[in-house]
Amino acid sequence: MDTNLGADGAVRRQAALAALPELARRIGEDAAGREARRELPYFAFTLFRDSGLGALRIPVEQGGLGGSLEEVFELVASLAAEEPNVAHALRLHFDVTETLLLGPRTAHAELQVQRVLAGALYGGASTELGTARPGQIETVLVRHGDHYRMSGRKYYSTGTAFADYARLNLKDEQGADVIAFIPVDREGVRVLDDWDGMGQRMTASGTLELNEVRVEDDEVLPRASGTLVGRHTGALRQLHLVATAAGIVRRVYADARDYVLSHGRPVQHSPAPTAREDAFVQQVVGELAAHSLAIDALVRENARALDRSARALLDGDAEAGQRVLEGALVTAKTQLVVAQLALRAGERLFEAGGASMTGRKYNFDRHWRSLRTIFSHNPLLHKARVVGDYHLNGTTTHLQEGKVF
């Protein structure tokens, strides 16, 4: 790579990341109130587009910022500390850009890169409700002359309401797995805000309706499962959830500290003159600070492991398969530990104050609700069993399926 080009990319990346705290602050203004009113944060994605951070993983030589996964997941956690719905809703976008980084440089991929550089964001959906098992796809691309048509209903279409393009998992008429990339505003596409989960309420994770939507030949790609790149990005999607939780725990700690300093009173039996001098309140805030630090450290080390996996794939390293396996293991272990620490933090928060701390005006319960929702995405008990089976018996079956690890 040209030295001047690399230096320019580093300067642009540093400038974009330096502006992240202010971007996160603006996105987070009245976040608790919006959650209570269930107002989708469309404005936040306009701000994010303008930041240029959507191209963080696009290589410098292609016009992007050339950032690391460690930087991506710090971005996610920083946004989540202010507005976790926005951080979560960017999950598929960074999955798409990772695939663009690691996949072949085809005309289709180059088109997506140019869209990202222009500020486009990606959403999409895979899951369909009502199938016999999760992951089954029944939406079919049907040939209509020189193009295709598709009709169906997707669910868990996280972030698609805020996106410009959608990546959809489909079947062709022969039953093969395919992917289609289409504009979200195309005729026949309708995103419904019917996600009714108790947490992460404004991620637009509900239904995506497809009614005789036209799809061009050059918008369709085959979809292979279990590839090394697919397994790597599977771990990336899982760590995105954990980084979102890391940001929420940062906010849990900050809310506990700020409540004690601004509103807290010592309990009637406390000898302390103020809440901030109460030993038990100090213990709670200290625990929350420690939990947040530990979670941040785990996410950072996990991101570094996935950076090693990505570099091995980019370099065609003979050890790429081992690096991808290590990334899956680290991600599963990180999820297991962070889930315990984060959920405890979301509940422990209320030990820093009395019953007044549960007031709806604070909306502090949103933290636990969102954490519980995030850690319900995948069966953590199954992850623990798979990790144990690997360390006891060397079993890699589920780790190599390219599904949820």
pLDDT digits (tens, 9 = 90+) for 336-358: 999 999 999 999 999 999 899 99
pLDDT score, position 39: 96
Residue 253 lies in a domain: yes
Residue entry with tokens 């039996």: 269
Query: Which of the listed residues 121, 154, 175 is the one where a domain comes to its end?
Result: 121
Which of 257, 89, 62, 109 minimizes the C-alpha distance to 158?
89
Q: How many domains does the chain have?
A: 3
pLDDT score, position 334: 98
Query: Which of the listed residues 88, 121, 154 is the one where a domain comes to its end?
Result: 121
Percent of residues, the chain, with pLDDT higher than 70 = 100
Claim to verify: residue 357 and residue 377 sit in the same structural domain:
yes
Assign 132 a pLDDT band (cuts: 50, 70, 90).
confident
Query: Which of the listed residues 222, 250, 277 is the one where a domain comes to its end?
Result: 222
Assign residue 392 the CATH number of its domain. 1.20.140.10
Residue 129 lies in a domain: no
Concatenated DSSP letters for 240-276? HHHHHHHHHHHHHHHHHHHHHHHT----TT---SSGG
Residue 126 lies in a domain: no
37 vs 134, more confident = 37
pLDDT, mean over the chain: 95
Claim to verify: residue 117 and residue 146 sit in the same structural domain:
no
Q: Is the dihedral of CA 179, 185, 189, 190 positive or negative?
A: positive
Per-residue pLDDT at 5 exceeds 80: no
pLDDT digits (tens, 9 = 90+) for 149-164: 999 999 999 999 999 9
Claim to verify: residue 384 and residue 267 sit in the same structural domain:
yes
Helix (H, G, I), strand (E, B) or coil at 9: helix
Instruction: State the Cα–Cα distance between residues 298 and 306, nearest whole angstrom.
Output: 12
Contact 169, 160 (CB under 8 A): no
Assign 198 a pLDDT band (cuts: 50, 70, 90).
very high
Q: Give the domain extent around 196.
A: 140-222
Per-residue pLDDT at 4 exceeds 90: no
pLDDT score, position 1: 67
Claim to verify: residue 253 and residue 197 sit in the same structural domain:
no
pLDDT score, position 57: 98
Residues ≥6 apart with Cβ < 8 Å to 208: 125, 153, 154, 155, 157, 160, 166, 168, 189, 190, 191, 192
Which of 294, 284, 147, 305 minimizes the C-alpha distance to 239?
305
Residue 232 lies in a domain: yes
Q: What are phi and psi of 212, to 5 degrees?
A: 50, 45
pLDDT digits (tens, 9 = 90+) for 245-296: 999 999 999 999 999 999 988 888 889 889 899 999 999 999 999 999 999 9
Residue 130 lies in a domain: no
4 vs 184, more confident = 184
Concatenated DSSP letters for 301-350? HHHHHHHHHHHHHHHT-TTHHHHHHHHHHHHHHHHHHHHHHHHHHHHHGG
**Where is average pLDDT lowest: 14-28, 43-57, 259-273, 284-298?**
259-273
Claim to verify: residue 241 and residue 270 sit in the same structural domain:
yes
Residues in the chain: 405
Claim to verify: residue 204 and residue 292 sit in the same structural domain:
no
Claim to verify: residue 65 and residue 155 sit in the same structural domain:
no
Claim to verify: residue 266 and residue 287 sit in the same structural domain:
yes
Strand partners, 169: 179
Contact 164, 115 (CB under 8 A): yes
Residue 190 lies in a domain: yes
Claim to verify: residue 246 and residue 390 sit in the same structural domain:
yes
Residue 132 lies in a domain: no
The distance of Cα 23 from the centroid of its chain, to the nearest Å, equals 18
Claim to verify: residue 282 and residue 383 sit in the same structural domain:
yes
Which of 41, 11, 40 minimizes the C-alpha distance to 23?
41
Per-residue pLDDT at 55 exceeds 80: yes
Claim to verify: residue 96 and residue 217 sit in the same structural domain:
no
Instruction: State the Cα–Cα distance between residues 338 and 346, nearest whole angstrom.
Output: 12
pLDDT score, position 9: 83
